[in-house]
Amino acid sequence: MPHHDVLVIGAGLAGQRAALAAAEEGASVGIISKVHPVRSHSNAAQGGINAALNPEDSWESHAFDTIKGSDYLGDQDAIEIMCREAPGALLDLEHKGVTFHRNEEGRLGTRAFGGASAARTYYVADITGQAILHVLYEQLLKHDTVYRYEEWFTTALVQDDEGRIAGAVTRNIRDGSMDLFSAKAVILATGGNGQIYTPTTNALICTGDGIAMAYRVGAPLMDMEMIQYHPTTLAGLGLLITEGARGEGAQLYNAQGERFMEKYAPNKMELASRDVVSRAEQTEIDEGRGFPDGTVALDITVVPRKRIHEALREIVNVGRDFAGVDITREPIHIKPGNHYVMGGVKTDNDGQTDIPGLYAAGECACVSVHGGNRLGANSLLDTLVFGRRSGAHAALSVKGLLPREPSYAQLRDEERRVAAIVRRDAGGRRVSEVRAELGATMDRYVAVFRDEDGLRIALDTVRRLKEEANEAGIDDKGSVFNQDVLSALELQFMLDNAECIVVSAIERRESRGAQYRTDYPERNDDEWLKHIDVAVNGVQPEISYSQVTVTQWEPQERTY
């Protein structure tokens, strides 16, 4: 049985940053990833990372923008921490070797991003996530107390008799063997759950595994109804056109040639918060002013061609390869699409969950710094700031603790569960079919606009699909790289996530941030300025509430 002081599950930016911080505090660290670490989804991050580094900018301004962006649901103490630590986190990356863009004077250069009152987004062309991920991975390799388990898939967390987290059960994808890992603390850094929607900007691996594993051991989830639809995704495919394009000056038009954001956000126009822009686009489309393919147009041709090739070169490729459009010469059709989960495993400002020994960081966690709507380029920041804090806190908190001895019975249970999936008859409904119905249902009923009737249909469907997923057959009966069995396990994680999202969306009877209820179109601070927490009770999710922390910014009307 591998023993570690701190076990990090997930090797994207949050997981790698947490592992580094834990190792720097002297802990022995195991870091597990179901894909090679540099193929983690953080690799896809395009536009950049926010920090109020410029002397004319301030952390207070960054914090206020984030709070307003969150529609006042974000916890202001956590947001203050994130925005205060942002400049240090950014410079630390630069010193570690991230080649951020420099302007003509040779200084770190910024681009504008949505909902921000200053241009404070630092970037590496439109491959910012990839650039940071590779540098962090190089740093990890330097630590001989960090053990990497690459292409291992965690199926469940394990607890000791007192309910403290004691490790995890993990399957070696290469040969199908299962192992019990012992750890004094476990940090979940498993990323988002975009795959429960079809289409999505998220990679196939974003299936909400950690969120579901935490939920299954009783950790509350928070703000799960807050699902971000990004304003600029390719119809059908869901591929992202970075907000960096609008940051560089790109404009949105409907099919009648109107720059429609004038009506919805006359001051910020295309750079209003994402929820505002997505609702504006969806309204244009629903009211018949979109194109026949259910889209509006993003015109990037207003950006000088040299600048497009310098700062948006991946988007040039995406436009050409996936839409047949040369974005330097003609507008590209886009629509709002699933992108990010603001909610996740409820944590304090050091990443601690309600379960002793269990931490969460990054997109799978809800600190909550994004509240009802995340500002672009604040997620990479969240992964680094709270990844570091979780890693350091976990390492310090387990000093002096004896190694945990989790029971092998929990390993045997998981082995039996996986063996039963492999034995299933492939004659029934297929995993991929259940997954497709889940994605279409969520995209239809739990999207930019929602109402009680649609949400009830979604809940009934998700609960039926949960039953079907327990029977869904797989073809591959082998043990080497059996992706079929992993898909079946992921589907069950995804359905737990989906159920919590829908139950929370039904519960919040108001419109705030990404949750727009057509049957409750107003924000209602008197009754709903609170977080919705959801925890498992038996097999069903149970709702409770927690307070939103307000430090110095009282809720105001939100206009852009």
Residue from 4, 12, 140, 225 in contact with ligand FAD (CB under 6 A): 12
- Would you give the binding string for ligand FAD spanning residues 230-269, x where CB under 6 A is met? ----------x-----------------------------
Query: What is d(CA 473, CA 87) in angstroms, rounded to the nearest whole number?
Result: 50
Query: Whose CB is nearest to ligand FAD?
Result: 12
Rounded to the nearest 10°, the torsion over CA 433, 434, 440, 443 is -150
As measured in angstroms, the least distance from the Cβ of 410 to ligand FAD is 16
Both tokens of 495, joined, read 């359905």
Residue from 9, 73, 459, 494 in contact with ligand FAD (CB under 6 A): 9
Cα-trace Rg, the chain = 22
Both tokens of 535, joined, read 């925890």
Q: How many residues at the interface with ligand FAD, by CB under 6 A?
A: 45
Query: What is d(CA 132, CA 13) in angstroms, rounded to the nearest whole number?
Result: 8
What share of residues in the chain are helix, strand, coil (percent, to 5)? 40, 20, 40
As measured in angstroms, the least distance from the Cβ of 378 to ligand FAD is 6
- The interface with ligand FAD within residues 14-73 (CB under 6 A) comprises 14-15, 32-35, 37, 40-42, 44-49
Query: What is d(CA 403, CA 4) in angstroms, rounded to the nearest whole number?
Result: 8
Residue 404 designated active-site: no
- Would you give the binding string for ligand FAD spanning residues 428-457, x where CB under 6 A is met? ------------------------------
As measured in angstroms, the least distance from the Cβ of 147 to ligand FAD is 14
Does position 377 interact with ligand FAD (CB under 6 A)? The reply is yes
Residue from 66, 110, 130, 154 in contact with ligand FAD (CB under 6 A): 154
Identify the active-site residue in 274, 430, 450, 517: 274
Distant-in-sequence, close-in-space partners of 29: CB < 8 Å, separation ≥ 6: 4, 5, 6, 7, 8, 19, 22, 23, 143, 145, 146, 147, 391, 395
- The interface with ligand FAD within residues 113-132 (CB under 6 A) comprises 128-129
Q: Is 526 exposed, middle or buried (0-12, 13-18, 19+ CB in 10 A)?
A: exposed
Phi, psi at 105, each rounded to 5°: -85, 0
Q: Count the Cβ atoms, other than its own, within 10 Å of residue 421.
A: 20
- Would you give the binding string for ligand FAD spanning residues 310-349, x where CB under 6 A is met? -----------------------------xx---------
- Whether 210 contacts 366, CB under 8 Å: no
Does position 362 interact with ligand FAD (CB under 6 A)? The reply is yes
Does position 482 interact with ligand FAD (CB under 6 A)? The reply is no
Catalytic residues: 274
Summarize as ranges the residues that interact with ligand FAD (CB under 6 A): 9-15, 32-35, 37, 40-42, 44-49, 128-129, 153-154, 189-192, 201-202, 205-206, 209-210, 240, 339-340, 362-363, 377-380, 383
